[in-house]
Structure 1
Amino acid sequence: MTSRRWVLPALLVSALTVSFAPQALAHGHGHGDKPRTVGYYTNWSGYDRNFLVKDLVTNGTAPRLTHLNYAFGFLDQGGKCVSSDPWADYQRPFGAEQSVSGKADDPAQPLLGNLNQLKQLKAKHPKLRVNISLGGWTGSKYFSDAALTPESRAAHVKSCIDLWLKGNLVGAAPGAAAGLFDGIDLDWEWPSSEGAPGNVIRTEDRENFTALLREYRKQLGRLTWQTGRSYDLTAFLPANPAFIDRGFEVSKVFGLLTFGTVQGYDYHGAWEPLTNQQSSIRTPAADPTSPKFSSQVTVDHYLRKGAPRNKVVLGVPFYSRGWTGVRNENNGLFQPATGPAPATYEAGYEDYRILKAQLGKFTVHRDPKAGHAWLFDGTTFWTWDDPTELKRKGRYVAERRLGGAMIWSLDGDTADGELIRGLTDGLSR
């Protein structure tokens, strides 16, 4: 299973954690309150996809989100926080027609790029919390080094707070982005388990991840003293129970997090020889693979390990996984394939909005009991999370009283936001 797309025992630290964690944890909801809707907006969305922050307004997404995670900030070889793309993040000027505010950027203004657009988005939607997401599939190489010692943890956290929360961007005016971000989302993929090739991995990552969260809580607590604001601390967590057990002290981790977003996709993909579901709510009855992956398997595992139900936020995909050269039996499901399906940006991976435009070539198949759908044309197979399936997932989250739903990623939706509408309709049931 792959993804896109992740202890200071002193009395002072304990006191700070106790003092400040409840403030931060108050954001979101408990049982009976409105579930969170968390969406990832990537700093590469504005390139080939030409999906701008403004599009979150025009397609109706922004008012339906409670949290937006801006992805990704990276870690350098020393474990310090850096921008992965300064041009996209804070240097690119936007014209009036591209801007949330409808006004063209002045190239001499202190803040440009996506960060300035997010600032404008928050001005329009003041209840929206915007967090910086660190790492991701291609940005997690040095997390293990950053988390290794008390000194490395302290230096890492200090650098991230200085860069993203205090807004001291390299090459920009001091504090140019101050006050934009409401917290930090850690996407370390994965502690103690293999992620992207070349990632640093250690067996002690499991305990060090908890220690890193404690250091974040400590320094975020100090920042709260200075600013009077509370800050989110969230993390993207894996679906694979083996990765969960190997990399996370679940009960301790959730005690430190505002909430955790749980991988609800990439259960299967074209790195495997058989077609399969990538985001089914339950394991399909005829699934021939082992171990079994589904959202229910993942959620139940976190709950058994001590995660509070109202802090478990289930991920949902706005994209499809696909195979081609598929044997034409069983409507293409659980059949051998020759490789990944051709696609626009990455073989075997396609945005929903692009596949929807090709829907006439395919037949839609559904398994309502397991909670997944797929497309098949006799040779090419795509997993299919459309408004029907996203509403089903939203209802599952609501019925199980989970903490909400998370979207990877917002740029996959249509110009009228049909996926976010389906999801939030289900969440509101």
Structure 2
Amino acid sequence: MSTTTPQRSRRRTRFAATLTALVVPLAAMVGLASPAQAAPAATATYTKKSDWGSGFEGSWTIKNTGTTTLSSWTVEWDFPTGTKAGSAWDATLSSAGNHYTAKNLSWNGTLAPGASATFGFNGTGSGNPTGCKLNGGSCDGDTQPGDAAPSAPGTPVASNVTDTSARLTWSAATDDKGIKNYDVLRDGAKVATVTGLTYTDSSLTKGTSYSYAIQARDTADQTGPASGSVAVKTTGGGTDPGPGPGDQVKLGYFTNWGVYGRNYHVKNLVTSGSAAKITHINYAFGNVQGGKCTIGDAFADYDKAYTADQAVDGVADTWDQPLRGNFNQLRKLKAKYPHIKVIWSFGGWTWSGGFGDASKNPAAFADSCYQLVEDPRWADVFDGIDIDWEYPNACGLTCDTSGPAALGNLASALRTKFGANNLVTAAITADASDGGKIDSADYATAAKSFDWYNVMTYDFFGAWAAKGPTAPHSPLTSYPGIPQAGFNSAEAIAKLKAKGVPAKKLLLGIGFYGRGWTGVTQKEPGGTATGPAAGTYEQGIEDYKVLKAKCPANGTVAGTAYAHCGTDWWSYDTPATINSKMAWSKAQGLGGAFFWEFSGDTANGELVTAIDSGLK
């Protein structure tokens, strides 16, 4: 097997076809609307609510400023070349070249005097709208595109926190027409509207974590962007089942694409019992494009509406709430399990190609990542950033020549930007062969800026070598006949320690899946094959929860189970082998363990349970 092939499949399967099917061209959504009769006693105001580099969220607010009821509204505008509107909500949107027309839906067209309606859309590019028309007339009767929305208030500061209350104060927002009042948002939902710069929330539960942000409204009743978020945990309680700060890290990857074909959601962490047994979640993946951190899957990340039966707390999303999708469900999960820290992971096998550009200007990259991770809409959800660069100054899906120091430079910039109170981590290679990937980058220097490394001690061997020899994909140690020297966990950990990486900054990796071949007649490792075994989502790979029943383990090698059933040969970890690996990890003084990824486990989380019990 080429040393450039490990970790390929866990990064690649994103159900892109499913996502593509969700995208409908704007022109096909609705025919071009004709402007209605001009209504000068109304305004339309544009706000760019957020910008994540590769795209943005735009919003228009239509307000009836007259004395008679407005029966319908149509907003038109032009975008400059290079800026486009995409999917829209709360309006039918059509386009002809760079000209856009949005028309009310059946339920939000009638506006009484003083009433307003808002619709939004996702877009790409950096331009702003011009030539705004509302029902055929000027959007504000004077300037285009209308009265500016207020600025974001200052991030609230919490004080006087008790078992059931907390006091919040913030600095004022600004607006050209003046500020009318402020909405107080708790966990994304409005709980109060006040005219001053302080609010005391007295309806809280003891020992519970909350997130607060503030949103200003001007005298034209336009709302601006939300402030930054502050996390508040009330006193009392003491029922948190999670580990204390001195315990070992037990981290699992949650994939954003898992909500599609796998039908695996944040709620499954609760129903499986896994949430009480982990300490950290890596949310995978954000993309790396143009030297910046960007959104990976906007729909799954923050737009997908969850029904009550899918939601962590049994409460369905509403059409107008500020945050939905996985991010909101993770927020709810953290409210139930305050000990869990969530880290946003960027890169992975498919999206590591962008790190080369990022390394050319580490400070700019770090700033872009900070702005995205700390976006006010979800800043309280994330406790830091993880970069999964496969591989610095080496080859993965593509080859990188950024130099041995590039990872350390990137790590230093991220630590400087994110500060000491955020986690900064990285997933790294486990290739300990002579002159292999561990030798290609200065992991020791970079480790000074990282809290820990997730050492990917799996995917050493697999059916990319279609003819075999069969071998365990996650061997703990070497064994007679292993196909490649240096391809095992023990040698990877030893090499990183020898280079100066502290043992406490190394986490042992576990795969919640198996890799397999078919056309195999030999039960023991080292047999020949005719190709990859069949898998649910991809040839040669299958979840543990499937293999447990489909091809039960009937042997072990190098601390990993294997199974020969019919002509198929699989290797994977079981609760028993995981328990042994956790004992080895503790004996090595490692910082804990991590795994890829939650959806491969059984419905009752038996592999997570094995990691938890093995590290106690």
What is residue 14 of structure 1 aligned with on the other side?
none
What is residue 239 of structure 1 aligned with on the other side?
430
Q: Which amino acid aligns with 1:275?
A: T
What is residue 249 of structure 1 aligned with on the other side?
442
Aligned mates of 1:138, 1:321 — CA distance in 2: 19
Offset at residue 65 of structure 1 (A): 1.0
Question: Could you list the per-position Cα deviations for residues 291-334 of structure 1 after superposition, in whole angstroms to 9, with x for gaps in the alignment?
Answer: 241110111011111110111111111000011111x23x1411
Aligned mates of 1:220, 1:82 — CA distance in 2: 17
What is residue 62 of structure 1 aligned with on the other side?
275
What is residue 460 of structure 2 aligned with on the other side?
267
**Pairing of 1:6-405 with structure 2 (within 5 A):** 33-76=246-289, 78-148=290-360, 152-164=361-373, 166-167=374-375, 175-196=376-397, 199=398, 201-202=400-401, 204-221=402-419, 230-241=421-432, 242-272=435-465, 273-287=468-482, 289-326=483-520, 328-329=521-522, 331-359=523-551, 362=552, 364-367=554-557, 370-405=558-593
Offset at residue 247 of structure 1 (A): 3.3
Question: Could you list the per-position Cα deviations for residues 20-46 of structure 1 after superposition, in whole angstroms to 9, with x for gaps in the alignment?
Answer: xxxxxxxx999xx42110110000111
* Displacement over 3 Å in runs of 4+: 242-247
> Contact 2:474 / 2:572 at 8 angstroms: preserved in 1?
no
Question: Could you list the per-position Cα deviations for residues 311-362 of structure 1 after superposition, in whole angstroms to 9, with x for gaps in the alignment?
Answer: 1111111000011111x23x14111111111100011011111212314xx5
Aligned mates of 1:293, 1:307 — CA distance in 2: 19
Aligned mates of 2:595, 2:454 — CA distance in 1: 9
Offset at residue 200 of structure 1 (A): 5.3
Q: Tell me the SS of whatever aligns to 1:97.
A: coil
Offset at residue 243 of structure 1 (A): 3.9
Q: Tell me the SS of whatever aligns to 1:264.
A: coil
Taking a change above 3 Å as real, the CA distance of residues 108 and 357 of structure 1, as seen in their structure-2 partners, is farther
Larger Rg: 2
Aligned mates of 1:366, 1:249 — CA distance in 2: 34
Aligned mates of 1:332, 1:276 — CA distance in 2: 9
> Contact 2:266 / 2:329 at 8 angstroms: preserved in 1?
yes
Q: Tell me the SS of whatever aligns to 1:185.
A: strand
Aligned mates of 1:371, 1:184 — CA distance in 2: 32
Larger RCO of the pair (alpha carbons < 8 Å, separation 6+): 1
> Contact 1:147 / 1:209 at 8 angstroms: preserved in 2?
yes
Deviates further, 395-404 or 413-422: 395-404
Q: Which amino acid aligns with 1:358?
A: K
Offset at residue 363 of structure 1 (A): 5.3
Question: Could you list the per-position Cα deviations for residues 198-240 of structure 1 after superposition, in whole angstroms to 9, with x for gaps in the alignment?
Answer: x3511x332111111111111112xx6xxxxx10000001010
> Contact 1:142 / 1:200 at 8 angstroms: preserved in 2?
no
> Contact 1:144 / 1:205 at 8 angstroms: preserved in 2?
no
Aligned mates of 2:312, 2:288 — CA distance in 1: 29
> Contact 1:43 / 1:70 at 8 angstroms: preserved in 2?
yes
Q: Tell me the SS of whatever aligns to 1:411.
A: helix
Q: Which runs of 5+ in 2 are unaligned?
A: 12-242
Offset at residue 66 of structure 1 (A): 1.0
Aligned mates of 1:42, 1:345 — CA distance in 2: 15
Q: Which amino acid aligns with 2:474?
A: S
Offset at residue 394 of structure 1 (A): 1.2
Aligned mates of 2:596, 2:391 — CA distance in 1: 17
Question: Could you list the per-position Cα deviations for residues 66-85 of structure 1 after superposition, in whole angstroms to 9, with x for gaps in the alignment?
Answer: 11000000012x11111111
Q: Tell me the SS of whatever aligns to 1:117.
A: helix
Question: Could you list the per-position Cα deviations for residues 137-166 of structure 1 after superposition, in whole angstroms to 9, with x for gaps in the alignment?
Answer: 001111011112xxx2222111111111x2
Q: TM-score with structure 1 length normalisation?
A: 0.84
Which of the two has greater strand per residue? 2
Count, aligned residues: 376
Offset at residue 102 of structure 1 (A): 0.8
Q: Which runs of 5+ in 1 are unaligned?
A: 7-27, 168-174, 225-229
Which of the two has greater helix per residue? 1
Q: Which amino acid aligns with 1:72?
A: F
Q: TM-score with structure 2 length normalisation?
A: 0.59
> Contact 1:260 / 1:312 at 8 angstroms: preserved in 2?
yes
Taking a change above 3 Å as real, the CA distance of residues 123 and 280 of structure 1, as seen in their structure-2 partners, is same
What is residue 410 of structure 1 aligned with on the other side?
598
Taking a change above 3 Å as real, the CA distance of residues 346 and 143 of structure 1, as seen in their structure-2 partners, is same
What is residue 11 of structure 1 aligned with on the other side?
none
Offset at residue 60 of structure 1 (A): 0.9
> Contact 2:516 / 2:569 at 8 angstroms: preserved in 1?
yes
**Residue 608 (structure 2) aligned to one of 408, 420, 426:** 420
Q: Tell me the SS of whatever aligns to 1:357.
A: helix
Aligned mates of 1:317, 1:161 — CA distance in 2: 29
Q: Tell me the SS of whatever aligns to 2:424.
A: strand
Q: Tell me the SS of whatever aligns to 2:415.
A: helix
